[in-house]
Amino acid sequence: MSVTAVEAGTPVITGWSAVSPFGVGRAAFVEGMLSGRRTDTPAGEWDGAGERACLVPGFDARETLGAKGTRAMDRVTGLAVTTVGELLEEYGGTRTPEPDPETALVLGTTTGSAQSMMSFTRASLTGAKPFHVEPAVIPNSVMNCAAGRCAIWYKLKGPNATIAGGRAAGLFSLVYTRRLLLTGRARRVLCGAVEEYSRARSWLEFHSRGREHSVLSEGCAVFQVEPAGQVGGTPLAAVLAVDTRVSADGDPAGAMRACVNRVLSRGGVEPSALWAACPSNPGGAAGAAEREVLTTMFGRAALERIPRTAMAGDPGAASVPFQLASALALAQRDPAPHDRPVLVTAADPDGAVAAALVLLLADGAR
Amino acid sequence: MRDDRAARRVVLTGLGIFSSIGTGAEQLVASLRAGHSNVKPITAFDTTGFAHSNGCAVEGFEPENWIRTVPVDELGRASQFSVAAARMAVEDAGLAEDDLRGRRCLISIGTTDGESHDLDRLTAMDVAGGPHAMDPAIARRVPAARLSNAIARELGLSDVEAATMATACSAGNYAIGNGYDALRVGDADIALCGGADALCRKNFTGFYRLGTIAPDRCRPFDKDRQGILTGEGAAVLVLETLQSALARGARIYAEVLGYGLNCDAYHPVAPNQESVAACMELALHDAGVKPYEVDLISAHGTGTKANDVTESRAVRQIYGSQAPPTISLKSMLGHTMGAASALAASACALAITHGFIPPTINHVETDPECEIDCVPNTSVEAGLRVVQNNGLAFGGNNAVVVLARYPMEATT
């Protein structure tokens, strides 16, 4: 199947990039993810709850983006600005495009930068006066800082949204992206999610999840999404259907099953036609339910076709973008999944459950 | 291209309101008509060391009266506001829980700070006793998605898209726009949209450090205005298609005609006139109305030097010298952050329903640089057909919603 066979208006991914524990950029992600190498490293100097973390190696916003405009930039913003820059450079040919009112940016998050927020409050609590705080970091303490700074950096004047959805944030972003395209509010959407590693996040996760607490990961992946029928870039994948739910009655497996069945039905795909299922694997009860449902429905082999190396550690809001990037990375190297549907799922311990059915297109490998 | 389904009309049929000047639509209307505010020294956190610390708190909030399913101590104050407001909105719309469970729902709550009040408390524990001293029960309340998914848990909704719109001080309008689009493209049958925020040290300290907290009162568009007063609360709006509302005989407050979104891509905190004007144009175009058809503008109207000049110039840029009355609800409600444009949209709908223009209070002399009629101090009886609600935010996140009387020809 080629993109011309996909229903008009369907969101089509025509480019992507990532900043991940494998390094900066798409090539680093593809190479690292397919090599299967581990990315967890000692993280003692961060003073977090865990001794190890999967960090973007040597990441520093000032070094990556230059000194101008980065003095007060926090890590989550640096990760997002770097990723969007990589994407624009690879697919648009420039990091300094003309002002663009037709390109939207949609970024998923958990809580923005908990570190920026808590550091700011700490300064207020411990300074000689409660207002002895650094004014330049005030924007960092609001959750839409990363998306707003990306817009400034790359002159993206279209709709600019930040959606808080925990480990399902990437799929909420995709739903919102589809809506922006269907309603003509944007011609192109840069859609993804970002999460930083920090002392604050590490301790919040430690206290929230108790024994389930795992090694944390970080990073950002952003996808260029255009509507089928009006695609400018090379079609890599079509998002056939997305569904999101809440396991309101404490039945995460039931919610996951309903989500998966709905996207298969909307996409007109038989369970047996699915090439792979790629779960978010957040651990705990939510993760167990996700895995059980997918294994029962599609068999163990379907869960093993897409390597899980990029999902080592808990990437938080970056989970779904890393899952989707892993599928695209594999399709770039291996013809087996071409024109086959894959399922990307997310289960957040806070209750959100989501699934997307994505068709990997042969066009992308040309 | 929008398909036939997307062309459906969207109406507002339920309101849940918690604010410093009233709980519920009826109390809010009475306060807006009377031009009330409720400004008091902030008690939500220790304000020692700040030269002034007035704010607009929600007093006497008893979440247990509204929240029946989710244990209240699993929710921070902002989520308590959002869940209680959702309960109230659903009841106000005459919807039973079973009615909702049979339909696909969208829950989209906007916020600036999420549960930052809890993060402030965790930070204080960390400062006092190190990171092990943080309270796990409070840490679990922090993820901002909870403002929305706790509503699903409370109402027992599983077939629901529930995520939080974290686009700062225009987030309420973003959420309304999201609900409007979800209904029009057929992604949802019922949308619970709005905004919620709770007073917190982090937010107050930021605005204070920027020199934008007024010492006493909030005086938007006044030549002597000194800034905002931080506030808190929530508004949740029940949106559904006109077809759905008519079929169940629902009371209709107003129709959502359309909205506009854009981004300044200019400065992290300062607004940009061209971009704000462009967003108003997008909203009017989306709503299919001409500027002369708009009877009232609810401005973002924070009462800071920068916002009020920039915004009133943007209004003049679109509307010329014929600009309709342009009021600031923040003069009465304070700046309730992510709840602000949701509370303002609710106030606009109530102004349409009840036939009056809420005033901009605390007004002495209009700033000559703000060339608008802000309807100073006293509300005015007026039949309103079309009302525009502005929301601007840090990050240059602009969102403008246009509401109209339904049916348009009715008189009040």
* Same domain membership, residue B229 and residue B195: yes
pLDDT at A283 (0 to 100):
87
pLDDT at A4 (0 to 100):
54
* Same domain membership, residue B373 and residue B308: yes
pLDDT at B230 (0 to 100):
98
* Same domain membership, residue B229 and residue B356: no
The residue in chain A having the minimum alpha-carbon distance to the alpha carbon of residue B157 is A248
Q: Which of residues 313-342 of A touch B (CB under 8 A)?
A: none
Q: Please judge whether A143 and B112 are an interchain contact, meaning their C-beta atoms are less than 8 angstroms apart.
A: yes
* Burial classification of residue B391, based on how many CB atoms lie within 10 Å of its CB (0-12 exposed, 13-18 middle, 19 or more buried): buried
Q: Please judge whether B114 and A161 are an interchain contact, meaning their C-beta atoms are less than 8 angstroms apart.
A: no
Identify the residue whose tokens are 């989209």.
B108
Query: A with B: how many residue pairs have Cβ under 8 Å apart?
Result: 262
Specify if B96 maps to a domain. Answer: yes
Specify if B236 maps to a domain. Answer: yes
Question: For chain A, which residues score pLDDT lower than 50?
Answer: 1, 365-366
Residue B308 has pLDDT above 70, yes or no: yes
User: Which residues in B lie closer than 8 A to residue A247 (C-beta atoms)?
Assistant: 158
pLDDT at A3 (0 to 100):
52
User: Which residues in A lie closer than 8 A to residue B209 (C-beta atoms)?
Assistant: 131, 133, 135, 138
* Same domain membership, residue B148 and residue B15: yes
User: Which residues in B lie closer than 8 A to residue A154 (C-beta atoms)?
Assistant: 265
Q: Which of residues 111-170 of A touch B (CB under 8 A)?
A: 111-112, 114, 117-118, 120-122, 124-126, 129-131, 133, 135, 138-139, 141-145, 147-149, 151-152, 154-166, 168-169
What ipTM describes this predicted complex?
0.97
* Same domain membership, residue B268 and residue B227: no
B169 noted as active-site residue:
yes
- Tokens representing A131 are 């207002």
Residue B82 has pLDDT above 70, yes or no: yes
Average pLDDT over residues B83-99: 96
* Same domain membership, residue B132 and residue B226: yes
Average pLDDT over residues B170-196: 97
The residue in chain A having the minimum alpha-carbon distance to the alpha carbon of residue B164 is A164
* Same domain membership, residue B281 and residue B173: no
pLDDT at A213 (0 to 100):
67
Specify if B1 maps to a domain. Answer: no
CATH number of the domain to which B380 belongs: 3.40.47.10
* Same domain membership, residue B295 and residue B160: no
Q: Which of residues 198-217 of A touch B (CB under 8 A)?
A: 199, 203-204, 206-208, 210
B300 noted as active-site residue:
yes
End-of-domain residue from the set B247, B270, B288: B247
Residue B4 has pLDDT above 60, yes or no: no
Across chain B, what does the average pLDDT equal? 96
Specify if B55 maps to a domain. Answer: yes
Specify if B2 maps to a domain. Answer: no
How far, in Å, CA of A156 to CA of A91, rounded? Answer: 15
Residue B6 has pLDDT above 50, yes or no: no
* Same domain membership, residue B152 and residue B54: yes
Specify if B319 maps to a domain. Answer: yes
Residue B3 has pLDDT above 60, yes or no: no
User: Which residues in B lie closer than 8 A to residue A180 (C-beta atoms)?
Assistant: 181
Q: Which of B178, B269, B396 lies at the smallest CB-CB distance from A151?
A: B396
Question: What is the gyration radius of the CA atoms in chain B, in angstroms?
Answer: 20
User: Which residues in A lie closer than 8 A to residue B266 (C-beta atoms)?
Assistant: 152
pLDDT at B2 (0 to 100):
37
pLDDT at A364 (0 to 100):
56
**Listed residue (A309, A320, A317) closest to A350, CA to CA:** A317
Identify from B146, B158, B180 which residue to disrupt to test chain A contact, counting A C-beta atoms within 10 A and taking the largest count: B158
Residue of B117, B193, B218, B300 marked catalytic:
B300
Specify if B71 maps to a domain. Answer: yes
Specify if B252 maps to a domain. Answer: no
The pair phi, psi for residue A21, each rounded to 5°, is -60, -10
pLDDT at A366 (0 to 100):
42
Question: In chain B, how many domains are there?
Answer: 2
End-of-domain residue from the set B247, B281, B307: B247
End-of-domain residue from the set B247, B268, B302: B247
pLDDT at A279 (0 to 100):
97
pLDDT at A363 (0 to 100):
64
Q: Where does the pLDDT of residue B5 fall: very low under 50, low under 70, confident under 90, or very high at 90 and above?
A: very low
* Same domain membership, residue B306 and residue B231: no
pLDDT at A7 (0 to 100):
86
For B396, the domain range is 258-407
Give the pLDDT confidence of A7-33 residue by residue, as tens digits. Answer: 888 999 999 999 999 999 999 999 999
Contact A303, A287 (CB under 8 A): no
B263 noted as active-site residue:
no
Q: Which of A131, A143, A156 lies at the smallest CB-CB distance from B166?
A: A143
Q: Please judge whether B268 and A152 are an interchain contact, meaning their C-beta atoms are less than 8 angstroms apart.
A: yes
The residue in chain B having the minimum alpha-carbon distance to the alpha carbon of residue A143 is B166
Q: Please judge whether A161 and B6 are an interchain contact, meaning their C-beta atoms are less than 8 angstroms apart.
A: no
* Same domain membership, residue B220 and residue B163: yes
Q: How far is A129 from chain B (nearest CA, A)?
A: 6
* Same domain membership, residue B318 and residue B265: yes
